[in-house]
Structure 1
Amino acid sequence: MLDAVDDLHAIIDGTIAALPVPAGDPREIERLESALGAGEQIDDDIALVIATSGTTGVPKGALHTAATLAASAAATDARLGGPGGWLLALPAHHIAGLQVLLRCLRGGFTPVVIDVARGFDPADLIRGIDAIEGPRRYTSLVPTQLIKVLDDPNATAALREVDAVLVGGAATPILLQQRAVDAGIPIVRTYGMSETCGGCVYDGVPLDGVGIVLDSANADGVGRVILRGPMVARGYRNVPDHSAFAVPGEYRTDDLGRLDDGVLSIIGRADEAITTGGLTVVPQVVEAAILSDPAVAECAVFGLPDERLGERVVAAVVPSTGATIDPERVRAVVIERLDRSAAPRDVHIVDGLPLRGPGKVDRAALRRSLS
């Protein structure tokens, strides 16, 4: 990545149109180049085509200009306390990782990069933090990386010294948040996506210039999240007239959320809801209940076909370090906090969860492996 600094500056200036692809993965490179029209005509003001981390077979590419990227960087700097040096610990072909590099260069600093091609090692994080330059020091992690850091006292101590740790890519469980806060790590929970230049809502509060609307909210105040602001993408590459961008400067997400005194809580995704026995179960709500048990480090809830129920609720859980998980206890926690209909019929104890993008759980892969 450090060999590509000139290209990164050209993205910032808007003098090129770049499509980041994962190095060393010829099949994915070919897939992205083909689906997103690498080398084909593109509008003059497009600076970046960034692939989304969705589960559909054909990738979409969010179209960003120098202006949308600049708006995102300025809003982030304003919220965090000013420009600074950044440590990259995420894949740079996804928006979260790429933004680490672009924000750092825009601020006039050289990014520090650690290699995560073969996995994340907290020891590399320690060395990387020592090398960050600038009056302020930042990094960005996904929840699975934060878990590894908190299990390593030396890495925890090093991360405590930075000015902010953006945590996103997937929901951060409450117990994990509390562990990080108790350890003195300055975490900032982020919400956003490729279509919004990455995170545009920090700790539930929108960045400057960002608006949040809930479409078709129910009696509980839960509706589909619509994000507005100057960092919203122009649209998708090679996907004309997409309804998600029906209004310029506005992106209609697939997320369900609620606003409480201006603070956004994401409840789950509309397209991942499970219909079981005629009832609708939102996986993320069940996951939050399961993760209230300290014995559970990570979990994913999904639906599998069932002749009687249509779909049955299934959970894959990863034990906390040194902990033992009792499947009956998992079910009991859900019944106690939610309802019997939401309790998983099957509980699979696994060593880790498959991921897509920088940190999102790949529920489709779980369905394939555990069906």
Structure 2
Amino acid sequence: MLRVLPDDPAVVLPALREALDAGPAIMVRPARLPADAAPAPAEVPEGVAVVVETSGSTGRPKRVLLTAEALLASAAASAAVIGEGRWLLALPLTYIAGLQVLVRSIAAGTDPAVLSGGPFDPRVFAASAEGARYVSLVPVQLARLVQSAQSRPEVAAALVGFDRILVGGQRSDPRVLEQAAALGARVTRTYGSSETAGGCVYDGEPLPGYRAEAVAGELQLTGPSLFAGYLDDPDRTGAALVERDGARWYRTGDAGSVDDGRVAVVGRMDDVIISGGVKVALGEVEQVVREEFPALGDAVVLRIEDAEWGEGSLVVADARFCGRRPSLFAVREAVTTRLGRAAAPRRIHWLEQDLPRLASGKPDRVAIRALAGG
């Protein structure tokens, strides 16, 4: 049996407690669904506690099956590193990081504080943070808090008041992390996914009980919180979960490396292009563009076809707040210097609106590509 619930902590928290105690499984769905959203299933395999629909940031969403054991193992591994205490829920419960705030609260025997709904407001965040020791954020939230903290002492005090701030879901801007550290905020970068029941790598180090390896350039993870599979999708399940060395490994689809146990993520494997016969990781191009040209903000780099080079890249940025726009020549020169000529973007597309985002805070690359005409 599966209970489909609204994104309401007052409804989800008691239902999640039951699900973790062998009760009916739950699935949280947003109030507003796309017109083409698939109907919720009525049944799930035995032993499943939670079904999480993935963001679908680059394609068709998946329904991730998580057992109570996996969810609680993730919470225990996190607590072993950062400790236990009261959490502030500041993320949607349709997102694994939001659900894990409730799982950790249940495991610790605490009641979470809850950030009120509506657009993210640093002032409301500061007022809601009183008494909370931990919070999980996405990078765009942290960036807004750090910016607000420059002029609002109550926001700065709230940031410093947390024992730990977890930030994940996508790559964080190093400048924001530096500014947060200068304020005295204790920020930990996390890496993981719905398939690992949340973050299982903290600041590049796998949590206790987890291992990471790079196989043919792809990051693979193993540990006690791996998902049971994708609902009604054996082909995707078989492609994502592999048996090796007597353990189940999750093929993340992320390109990266593991050196002396430390994990470094470059980007998505399917975002590696062949430009003039040279492999180029679009995640690396995106990183250089953001670092070298802060005025471009959270610019996104997409794959495009190129008549001469076969494939190339397109930079998409919000034109409204970047002041003097850098020229394509300047962007190409900066990327060429750090990554080589094949990595230099072919074009820049300027939007006169916010870059579309998913509920998790990640850029909605499908929507961005449609706006850019790619």
Is 1:282 equivalent to 2:281 in the alignment? yes
1:18 lines up with 2:17 in the alignment = no
Residues 85 and 46 of structure 1: is their aligned pair in 2 closer, same or farther, counting only changes over 3 Å? Answer: same
Distance 1:253 1:322 in 2: 34
The corresponding residue for 1:246 is 242
Q: 2:184 is paired with a residue of what secondary structure?
A: coil
Report deviation, 1:189: 0.3
Aligned equivalent of 1:235:
229
Corresponding residue number in structure 1 for 2:100:
99
- Of 311-320 and 193-202, more deviation after overlay is shown by 311-320
> How far apart are residue 53 of structure 1 and its match?
1.8
Q: Is the 8 A contact 2:89 2:112 kept in 1?
A: yes
Q: After the TM superposition, which residues 70-109 of structure 1 pair with which residues of structure 2 at under 5 Å, given as runs?
A: 70-80=72-82, 82-109=83-110
- Paired with 1:140 and 1:368, the residues of 2 have a C-alpha distance of 30
Residue in 1 that maps onto 2:52? 50
Q: Any idea what the Cα deviations from partners look like across 1:286-317, whole Å, max 9, x if unmatched? A: 11212223434322111223333333311123
Q: 1:67 to 1:265 in 2, by over 3 A?
A: same
Q: Letter of the aligned partner of 1:48 in structure 2?
A: V
CA distance in 2, matches of 1:191, 1:77: 16
| Matching residue's letter, 2:79 | D
Match of 1:340 in 2: 341
Is the counterpart of residue 6 in structure 1 residue 14 in structure 2? Answer: yes
2:42 is matched by which residue type in structure 1?
A: G
Deviations 1:58-115 (A, max 9, x none): 43111111111110000000110x2111111111111111111221122111111223
Deviation at 1:322, TM superposition (A): 7.2
Report the secondary structure of 2:130's partner residue: helix
Find the partner of 1:59 among 56, 61, 80: 61
What percentage of residue pairs aligned between the two structures are identical? 37
Within 1, Cα distance between the matches of 2:368 and 2:332?
19
Distance in 2 separating the partners of 1:152 and 1:77 = 29
Structure 1 portions without partners, runs of 5+: 217-222
Q: Which amino acid aligns with 2:99?
A: L
Conservation of the 8 A alpha-carbon contact between 1:298 and 1:319: no
**Residues 98 and 149 (structure 1), Cα distance of their counterparts in 2 relative to 1, 3 Å cut:** same
Aligned to 1:122: 122
Tell me, in whole angstroms, the C-alpha distance in 1 between the residues paired with 2:18 and 2:107. 11
Inter-CA distance 13–319: structure 2 relative to 1 (3 Å threshold) = farther
Letter in 2 for 1:279: V
Higher mean alpha-carbon deviation, 142-151 vs 236-245, is at 236-245
Amino acid across the alignment from 1:5: L
Q: CA offsets per residue over residues 139-159 of structure 1, 9 Å max, x none?
A: 111111111111102323311
Q: Within 1, Cα distance between the matches of 2:147 and 2:65?
A: 38
Per-residue CA deviation, residues 111-131 of structure 1 (Å, 9 max, x unaligned), is 112234x42111111011015
Equivalent position SS for 2:349: strand
Q: Distance in 2 between matches of 1:176 and 1:185?
A: 11
User: Which amino acid is 2:228 matched to?
Assistant: R
Given that residues 45 and 65 in structure 1 are in contact (C-alpha distance below 8 angstroms), is that contact kept between their aligned partners in structure 2? yes
Query: What is the rounded CA distance, in whole Å, between the counterparts of 2:85 and 2:22 in structure 1?
Result: 22
Q: Distance in 2 between matches of 1:318 and 1:156?
A: 27
Letter in 2 for 1:78: A
* Inter-partner Cα distance in structure 2 for 1:243 and 1:250: 11
- Corresponding residue number in structure 2 for 1:220: none
**Gap change, CA 1:146 and 1:321, over 3 Å in 2:** farther
1:147-202 deviation line (CA, Å, top 9, x unaligned)? 11111023233111101111111111222222222222111000000000010000
**Long gaps (5+) in structure 2:** 1-8
RMSD: 2.2
Where 2:199 maps in the other structure, the secondary structure is: strand
- Kindly indicate whether the alpha-carbon contact (under 8 Å) linking 1:17 and 1:49 is maintained by their aligned counterparts in 2: yes
> Against the structure 1 CA distance between its residues 171 and 75, is the aligned structure 2 distance closer, same or farther, given a 3 Å change threshold?
same
**1:230-281 deviation line (CA, Å, top 9, x unaligned):** 0001111111252211336321110111122211000111111233333322
Normalising by the residue count of structure 1, what TM-score does the alignment of the two structures yield? 0.88
Aligned to 2:304: 304
Indicate if the aligned counterparts of 1:276 and 1:313 stay in contact, CA closer than 8 A: no
2:258 aligns to what?
A: 259
Q: Determine the structure 1 residue equivalent to 2:210.
A: 210
Matched letter for residue 86 of structure 1: W
Q: 1:321 to 1:178 in 2, by over 3 A?
A: farther
Deviations 1:210-245 (A, max 9, x none): 0112112xxxxxx11110000001111111252211
Residue 354 of structure 1: aligned partner: 356
C-alpha contact (below 8 Å) 1:11/1:48 kept by paired residues = yes
Cα distance in 2 for residues equivalent to 1:325 and 1:57: 31
Return the offset for 1:321: 6.7
Of 144, 149, 164, the residue aligned with 1:148 is: 144
Q: TM-score, normalised by structure 2?
A: 0.88
Residue matched to 2:114: 113
**Structure 1 stretch 233-242 or stretch 347-356: which is displaced more?**
347-356
Q: How does 1:185-224 map to 2 (within 5 A)?
A: 185-216=185-216, 223-224=217-218
Answer whether contact 2:59 2:366 (CA < 8 A) is retained: no
Match of 2:6 in 1: none
Q: 1:363 to 1:296 in 2, by over 3 A?
A: same
